[in-house]
Amino acid sequence: MVKNPIKIADPKAENKLLLKDFKFSVENFINSDNYVNHDYIKKLEETWAAFTGLKHVCFVSNGTVALQLAYNVALRRLHANHEPVALLIPENTYHADLSAITWAGYAKGINNKIYAYDYKLGYETNNILYNEVSETKIIFNVTHLYGIPIPEHFITKTKNNLLKSDFKKRSIVIVEDCSHAHYSKVPLVGDICVWSCYPTKVLGALGNAGIIATNDDELAFYIKMLINQGEAPGIRYNPMVYGTNARGDALQAMFILEKLKHKDRVIQHRRSIVEQYESLSYSNKVTTLVNNDTTCYYVYPITVSSNKIRDQVKSELAKQQIETGIYYPVKMSNIANKLANLPSSGSFQGDNLLCLPVHLGMTTEDACQIRHALLPILDRLGR
């Protein structure tokens, strides 16, 4: 049993460390009398652009809205109403991606098809990416789950293969979901990149917040209009498209800016926790997905030999006050069939996965204790 309960995420503990800085900035904010368009937003967008190297960065209300905007402009580019569009999506991901594309109008198209893939199976064995996609219009979602980057060569190889796999003229838009991967070295090869800044994320706000970014001028032009009631810059009350209000909250931008000042300390702390887990990979009882080349600061995923053992491990750790997470328990192909009534085909290797906590509210000793708690449980359960 650990001394204090360890949660899978602990935004309260993290935010309390910055209470003084937050208080000072909130006071400035209140006195500014500019609550919607406060400079905090522009400053965050500029900081993010410098940080990622992406040209157009927009701070928006949350990660799901960022995805809705991304799919809306992707479908606009692919002229979705005229031809079927294939969606390639990881079988194991958060269902916000599926909901978002449906909200953006995807399910209305006839003959749209979802292909669920698993990049861990490797490129050549991933039949879906290799052989099966027959549509000429494709949206390719890549999500860097757990903060572990999907290798860039996997993404570009898949894209190139899809482009040259027959004589039809194909168009692909890549939507890259980096919500788990703040600070990780992700490829950022997406036509559009999206971050959720939900409070539990590595760079979480203190409420809902999200970011959408692109290097593509045309996509950026539409994204910016959609965020702001469909109005082009400087032209009020005469919208060019049906838009929405997806503007991010200035106070949340401020919280994120304050947190960015402590980036190095946060990475170092999370890294030292991950190091405690790394020796698990020498045990023959678990497989870790993290290798030395990858950076992972969100949660620490391990796999065991079966679904049943995974659930037993989870409940035994819970008895010792250690919370773990299952990201995610339901396959995308099942959700696609249920929610959107869209046909899908999929392959999946991630059923036995369990995530261990990595955050500022825990110490390296906590991580060491988790490791010591885990191994005897696995011994007993027979791996």
Ligand X SMILES: Cc1ncc(COP(=O)(O)O)c(C=O)c1O
- List residues binding ligand X (CB under 6 A): 62-64, 94, 96, 143, 177, 179-180, 196, 198, 208, 210
Rank residues 67 and 286 by Cβ distance to ligand X and give the closer one.
67
CA-based nearest residue to 342, from 81, 79, 142, 111: 111
Spatial distance between the Cα atoms of 267 and 17, rounded to a whole number of angstroms:
15
CA 349 to chain centre: 19
Spatial distance between the Cα atoms of 367 and 295, rounded to a whole number of angstroms:
17
Task: Give me Rg for the CA atoms of the chain.
Answer: 21
Rank residues 196 and 228 by Cβ distance to ligand X and give the closer one.
196
Spatial distance between the Cα atoms of 54 and 56, rounded to a whole number of angstroms:
6
Which conformational region is residue 153 in: left (phi greater than 0), alpha (psi within -120 to 50 degrees), or beta? alpha
State the amino acid at position 253 in one-letter form: A
Q: How far is the CB of 331 from ligand X (least distance, A)?
A: 15
Rank residues 151 and 239 by Cβ distance to ligand X and give the closer one.
151
SS3 assignment, position 55? coil
CB closest to ligand X, residue no: 63
CA 361 to chain centre: 21
Q: How far is the CB of 66 from ligand X (least distance, A)?
A: 8
In this structure, what token pair is assigned to residue 82?
Answer: 């005229």
Spatial distance between the Cα atoms of 80 and 140, rounded to a whole number of angstroms:
14
Rank residues 96 and 104 by Cβ distance to ligand X and give the closer one.
96
Question: In this structure, are residues 113 and 107 in contact, taking their beta carbons and an 8 Å threshold?
Answer: no
Q: How far is the CB of 241 from ligand X (least distance, A)?
A: 22
CA 170 to chain centre: 26
Question: In this structure, are residues 187 and 205 in contact, taking their beta carbons and an 8 Å threshold?
Answer: no
State the amino acid at position 99 in one-letter form: S
CA 315 to chain centre: 26
Rank residues 87 and 373 by Cβ distance to ligand X and give the closer one.
87
Rank residues 114 and 377 by Cβ distance to ligand X and give the closer one.
114
Rank residues 98 and 173 by Cβ distance to ligand X and give the closer one.
98
Q: How far is the CB of 364 from ligand X (least distance, A)?
A: 25
Rank residues 41 and 374 by Cβ distance to ligand X and give the closer one.
41
Positive/negative CA dihedral, 103, 105, 108, 110: negative
Rank residues 101 and 172 by Cβ distance to ligand X and give the closer one.
101
Determine how β-strand 113-117 pairs with β-strand 85-90: parallel
Q: How far is the CB of 249 from ligand X (least distance, A)?
A: 12
Q: How far is the CB of 142 from ligand X (least distance, A)?
A: 11
CA-based nearest residue to 250, from 44, 70, 47: 44
Q: Angle at the Cα of 247 (from 244 to 253), degrees rounded to 5?
A: 165
Q: How far is the CB of 31 from ligand X (least distance, A)?
A: 29
Q: How far is the CB of 62 from ligand X (least distance, A)?
A: 4
Q: How far is the CB of 366 from ligand X (least distance, A)?
A: 23
